[in-house]
Amino acid sequence: MPQLCWYFQLHQPYRLRDLSIFDLGSEPSYFGQVERDANREVFQKVAQKSYIPMLSLLYRLTQAVPEFVFAISGSGVFLEQAAEFAPEVIAWLKKLTTTGQMEWLSETYHHSLASLYSPAEFQRQVAAHAQKLDELFQVRPTVFRNTELVYSNDVAQLVAELGYQGMLTEAVDRYLNGQPKTTVYQDVSGQLKLLLKHAQLSDDIAFRFSERSWQWYPLTVDRYLEWLEVYPESEVINLFMDFETFGEHQWESTGIFDFFEKLIRRFVERDWNSYKTPSQLFASAKLGSLPTYNVPQPISWADVDRDLTAWVDNAFQRDCLRLVYELEPAILASRDAQLINDWRRLQTSDHFYYMCTKWSADGDVHAYFSPYESPYEAYRRFSIVLADVKRRLSLVT
């Protein structure tokens, strides 16, 4: 069997309030609500169903299986909400950090697409996230993961310039040119090491586990181990997925927690099997001797095509992204801390994801994750808030 590298992503956006044009000028909170705070409700619900039970399971497994190691990242907006709405989540993350078996990864604080629109803002958000991790957990990650695993040759250059030894991204067949996804790569400049997600094996757990129409339902640990055994010991399987896979996307009643626990325990029953963190894999890989992953156009881990269309497929999305980043010089020059913070929260990629008008299988996934009744409602809410941000900006410049 191969080496296994587990990575889990923790993120929750700040959802927008249902404001009307008549609210413009009243300077309301765009994200929090006094009577019924949807952000608090959602976070606390998911904390009880997913975050707390899975974090506690991960801790038990670190104690029971010393060989078990894994990586995790949490956006800054996730960590903010955890501290405010469910402090127990932060407590569990601190406990796991002290085990030495969990590796923290860096990312953009606001889970943004700044790497595609503003290198300077990207650097600021990465620095803010690193500061947050140091403040909460006293860690300084050496490995990076971009929002939604967005990656390109240009993005790799930005990340390398920040001093990271490597980053995670998606394995996309059209850029692999027949090369395997089960090895460590380097970027085209030879400055950055890369790990590529094994989409099929990751999504068998993250998306297909409870799908009754799937030919392998119900997925058993024995069957999954058989799939892993196809790969030799020298290869690495990167299993990357949203943390909410456990308990939220796949409910406890599906058996997902029991499946995961048994899989972790049984995988290392054979002496040649091993778990690795990204930094451990990068430490044994030498730049210059690695295969190159040449990605001239941005990719991501979203949707069937693994491209950017989840966020930039229609005019709504493209216009909103353009308008948000056009405000950058004036927003920063205002030195208005609240205005800058609101502007950065508007950069969170989820807002544009909710505006997606794709249909078929991709559209079903977008609809599942969206808190709004339609992409047009997502656009309406965002547009009203953006108009009010512009009004406030005009008053301070």
pLDDT for 143: 98
Residue 20 has what pLDDT?
79
Q: Kindly report the pTM of this predicted structure.
A: 0.95
Q: Which residues contact 118 (CB under 8 A, 6 or more apart)?
A: 325, 328
Round to whole Å and give the CA distance between 122 and 120: 5
The pLDDT of residue 27: 61
Distance of CA 167 to the CA centre of its chain: 13
Cα–Cα separations (whole angstroms), residue 28 to 24, 48, 143, 347: 8, 30, 38, 19
Tokens of 99: 């085990």
DSSP bridge pairs for 197: 170
Query: What pLDDT does residue 37 have?
Result: 81
Nearest partner of 321 among 118, 134, 36, judged by Cα = 118
How far apart, in whole angstroms, are the C-alpha atoms of residue 341 and residue 114?
Answer: 15
**Per-residue confidence (pLDDT) for residue 364, from 0 to 100:** 55
Q: Minimal CA–CA distance to 137: which of 272, 273, 235, 10?
A: 10
CA distance 288 to 68: 30
Its sign, for the CA torsion 154, 155, 157, 158, is: positive
31: tokens are: 């994200």
**Contact in structure between 355 and 349 (CB atoms under 8 Å):** no
Q: What is the pLDDT of residue 215?
A: 97
Strands 3-10 and 236-242: parallel
Which pLDDT value is given to residue 360?
47
- Residues annotated as catalytic are 148
Predicted pLDDT at 146: 98
Burial of residue 23 (number of CB atoms within 10 Å: 0-12, 13-18, 19+): middle
How does pLDDT run along the chain (397 residues), one tens digit per residue? 789 999 999 999 999 988 877 777 776 689 866 456 889 999 999 999 999 999 999 999 999 999 999 999 999 999 999 999 999 999 999 999 999 999 999 999 999 999 999 999 999 999 999 999 999 999 999 999 999 999 999 999 999 999 999 999 999 999 999 999 999 999 999 999 999 999 999 999 999 999 999 999 999 999 999 999 999 999 999 999 999 999 999 999 999 999 999 999 999 998 889 999 999 999 999 999 999 999 999 999 998 899 999 999 999 999 999 999 999 999 999 999 999 999 999 999 999 999 999 864 544 555 567 899 999 999 999 999 999 999 999 998 7
Of residues 231, 229, 230, 200, the one with CA closest to residue 216: 200
